[in-house]
Amino acid sequence: MQAGGRRFESDMLHHGIMESIQIHQVRGKKIANRNDLFFALDKLIHEYTDNSLSIENFVALIECIVFENRQSDQFNTIELDPEFIKRARITRAIYSKYEVALEAQVSSELLELPRDVDLLESLNKSKYQPIARTLNFARLEAEALECGRDKVCCHIGHGAFPETLFALRKYLSGNDRLVGFDFDQMAHRKAEELITKFDIRSIEITQEYGERVDYSQFCHIHVAVLVRPISSLIRKVIETAPQDATLVLRNVSGLGALVYEPISSSAIQLLTQSGFRKVNTVWGHAIVHSEVFSRSI
């Protein structure tokens, strides 16, 4: 199965997720078993590839499947099923394409706003639900962490609209300097334009791969859920981060793997073998959770 090669333009996105008869048919309904799940996924992938389903509705329908069935015990470890993995690779690729384009569009629209506008408040009132979810989740993450004023925190994979950096800046108690990294040129440029226009002096961003960063100055290292694969980044953290550094990895499990790639067990093993231990798990996002690691305990 392949996701198809049709060209995607950011102007295909509309404000919010378009409702359709199909979405109403999925919303509120449980999937009975593994075979029914695979049938539903195959149908959505085929309709998207065949251009009979928009990317907005594809994303909405995938989210409906995740939201309505995430509490089902039968799908707790579905991310390990080889047949599920084949389909999830396709759904993730399409979802990622949507999310990247959405962030670029949001960034462009916010650049049109007056300089004195409150960016976080504007997003909370907007129809961009995936970004608003991440924004609110970053607040919960920040509340669960501590970083002294004399330390520096970083976020890897900030994207074209760096909502996590903005939220950490506002809610991370005692810290007045944040550094963001993203290897993508477009994402870096868009984020830099926002930070410059709105004069956010406490945030610095650099175009760089996470596995090439020297983490020796950071007390808190926060990694976005789209940063995959992650093993090489973890090795660099182990090699260069301070002994008391905290590492926060956004992750998914179960049906959440339809949207984002889970962190591999081998990557987690790298951390634990080097002395890192999981000290907390932050919940509150509809799809993602954060696993907090430290080796200073």
Q: Which residues contact 168 (CB under 8 A, 6 or more apart)?
A: 138, 141, 142, 153, 155, 175, 178, 222
Ramachandran area for residue 275 (φ above 0: left; ψ -120 to 50: alpha; else beta): left
- In this predicted structure, the answer to whether residue 18 has a pLDDT above a threshold of 50 is no
- In this predicted structure, the answer to whether residue 42 has a pLDDT above a threshold of 90 is yes
CA distance 199 to 45: 43
Q: What does the domain layout of the chain look like in residue ranges?
A: 10-110, 121-294
Q: Where are the alpha helices (DSSP H) in the chain?
A: 21-26, 34-49, 55-69, 82-110, 119-124, 129-143, 163-171, 185-197, 231-240, 265-273
Q: How confident is the model at residue 270 (pLDDT cuts 50, 70, 90)?
A: very high
Question: What is the rounded radius of gyration, in angstroms, for the C-alpha atoms of the chain?
Answer: 19
- In this predicted structure, the answer to whether residue 3 has a pLDDT above a threshold of 70 is no
State which of 22-31, 194-203, 205-214 shows the largest mean pLDDT: 205-214
8 backbone dihedrals φ, ψ, rounded to 5°: -115, 125
Residue 150's pLDDT is: 62
Full-prediction pTM beyond 0.85?
yes
Residue 85 in tokens:
């993995």
SS3 269: helix
- In this predicted structure, the answer to whether residue 196 has a pLDDT above a threshold of 90 is yes
Query: Which comes out higher in pLDDT, residue 237 or 202?
Result: 237
Does domain 121-294 fall into CATH 3.40.50.150? Answer: yes
Residue 200's pLDDT is: 87
